[in-house]
Amino acid sequence: MPVEDLNELRRKGECDEKRLEDKIREAIRKDIRKYITEEALITGDGCKKVKIPIRGLNLPEFRFSPKGQKGIGTGRGKDAKAGDKVKMAPGPGAGQGEEEHILEKEFTIDELVNLAFEELGLPDMDDLMNSTIKSKHIKFNDIRKVGPMSRIDVRRTLKMNMKRHAMDGDPHIGDIQRDDFRFKSYNDEIEYRNNALILAMMDVSGSMDDFKKYLVRMTLWWIKKYLERIYDGLEFVFIIHDTRADEVDEEMFFKSSTGGGTNISSAYELGLRVLIDRYPSSEWNIYAFHFSDGENWDNDNEKALSFAEEIMEKSKRLYYGQVGESSSGNFNKVLDEHFGENSKLVISLIKTQDEIVNGIERFLRQPK
């Protein structure tokens, strides 16, 4: 075969491969909301690969008909058109009927995350980069001949003293004169920081079962993935509460449970203290999250609302997710009636697995 024909064949093969890859990605996008709620996605790092079954697609390959039978490509084909399905000649034994093609394609978790965000149509990252924080700090990067004795540069002062004596032919240290002194000086420098904190608070009272915690875990994981694309540094603070609140690590956050009642104010109070002591809003982009089934003592609501208001003053957003079904859970209504259309408060009801995506979109599509 001439070289030109080989090159043309190779080019067509590359085009066919790209077309197949595009079809695969399109098929994944159509079902991406189903994969978002798969817990397998959040159990490994971004390089871990998962297999996704894709119906109706198959890798292109040469197929040979059984010996002695007519196969694909035989016959006059008067009415055949591109894209028509061609039935195989029946063979002996079982397997009658049309076969359903299922292709298993491997994707890394990061690739699936990218496809998910494309399909959800979330805001362009470039529009959100104004979340950088400008801070001014002092940097000692200059030397001067005058200054306070508290900022004297001893090494440079002695060096200038020896240099002066050396010019007179007697290099030594002593008889320090005013012209020998050197002082450290500083300049104000502007530093741009692009860090964020997720303050995650969760009710772990007796009514918060494993399914409700699963709803919390899946929602937080996707929000974390999204914010990691915006901020260079992302930190977490985990707080659990029933009638009292404690700061814990991530593992304890999702595994803890108690049988007690619920005082939501205890979580908001501790969260506010953490922000004041360790994460000033002048240096951090703060996103506060609270997940609960909505049950709270009525006499605690007023105190909780007061702390919630202070948290909103220090954060970009307070996100309240009410998970699962609860006949007496009404804290979402308490927040809504008190704060109304406050742009810093986002309330989402996540009752079932199918509503996880709605909860994610409810937060991420809000203007920053």
Number of alpha carbons in the 13 Å side-chain half-sphere of residue 268:
27
Amino acid of residue 163: K
pLDDT the model gives residue 131: 53
In this structure, what CATH number is given to the domain that contains residue 335? 3.40.50.410
Q: Which contiguous run of DSSP H or E holds residue 278?
A: helix 264-278
Rounded distance, CA 244 to CA 258, Å? 11
pLDDT the model gives residue 267: 96
Looking at mean pLDDT, say which of 6-20, 33-47, 51-65, 289-303 comes out highest: 289-303
For the segment 206-219, the average pLDDT, to the nearest whole number, is 87
Amino acid of residue 297: W
Q: Is the pLDDT of residue 313 over 90?
A: yes
Same domain, 205 and 248: yes
Higher-scoring residue by pLDDT: 147, 71: 147
Q: Is residue 179 part of a domain?
A: yes
Same domain, 186 and 226: no
Q: How many CB atoms lie within 10 A of CB 261?
A: 14
Q: How many CB atoms lie within 10 A of CB 322?
A: 27
Instruction: Tell me the β-bridge partners of 195.
Output: 233
Q: Is residue 207 part of a domain?
A: yes
The average confidence (pLDDT) of the chain is 77
In which band, very low, low, confident or very high, does the pLDDT at 126 lie, cut at 50, 70 and 90?
very low
Same domain, 160 and 105: no
Same domain, 117 and 177: no
**Residue span of the structural domain in which 163 resides:** 134-191
The total number of structural domains that make up the chain: 3
Q: List the Cα angle 144/146/149 in 5-degree steps.
A: 110
pLDDT the model gives residue 105: 67
Of 171, 191, 211, the position where a domain reaches its end is 191
Rounded distance, CA 126 to CA 133, Å? 16
Higher-scoring residue by pLDDT: 157, 126: 157
Q: Is residue 77 part of a domain?
A: no
Q: Which of 68-77, 129-138, 158-167 has the lowest mean pLDDT?
A: 129-138
In 3-state terms the chain splits into helix, strand, coil percentages (rounded to 5) of 40, 20, 35
Same domain, 254 and 297: yes
267-295 confidence digits (pLDDT tens): 999 999 999 999 998 888 899 999 999 99
Same domain, 167 and 208: no
3-state secondary structure of 357: helix
Number of alpha carbons in the 13 Å side-chain half-sphere of residue 280:
6
- Assign 3-class secondary structure to 210-258: HHHHHHHHHHHHHHHHHHHCCCCEEEEEEEEECCCEEEECHHHHHHCCC
For the segment 189-209, the average pLDDT, to the nearest whole number, is 80
Higher-scoring residue by pLDDT: 1, 310: 310
Of 152, 170, 191, the position where a domain reaches its end is 191
Rounded distance, CA 308 to CA 311, Å? 5
Q: Is residue 223 part of a domain?
A: yes
Q: Is residue 182 part of a domain?
A: yes
Same domain, 201 and 278: yes
Same domain, 207 and 347: yes
91-107 confidence digits (pLDDT tens): 555 555 555 555 666 77
For the segment 34-45, the average pLDDT, to the nearest whole number, is 65
> 327: Cβ–Cβ under 8 A, 6 or more apart, which residues?
none
Same domain, 24 and 169: no
Rounded distance, CA 161 to CA 176, Å? 6
Alpha helix (H) ranges present in 283-330? 301-314
Same domain, 215 and 173: no
pTM: 0.63
Q: Residue with structure tokens 């009415």?
A: 79
Rounded distance, CA 45 to CA 111, Å? 12
Rounded distance, CA 364 to CA 339, Å? 20
Q: Are residues 199 and 315 in contact, defined by beta-carbon separation less than 8 angstroms? A: yes
pLDDT the model gives residue 186: 72
Of 169, 191, 213, the position where a domain reaches its end is 191
Q: Is residue 69 part of a domain?
A: no
Structural Rg of the chain based on CA atoms: 33
Higher-scoring residue by pLDDT: 272, 223: 272
Strands 345-350 and 245-248: unpaired
Same domain, 343 and 263: yes
Q: Is residue 128 part of a domain?
A: no
Same domain, 204 and 315: yes
104-120 confidence digits (pLDDT tens): 667 777 777 777 777 76
Q: Is residue 16 part of a domain?
A: yes
Q: List the Cα angle 68/69/75 in 5-degree steps.
A: 130
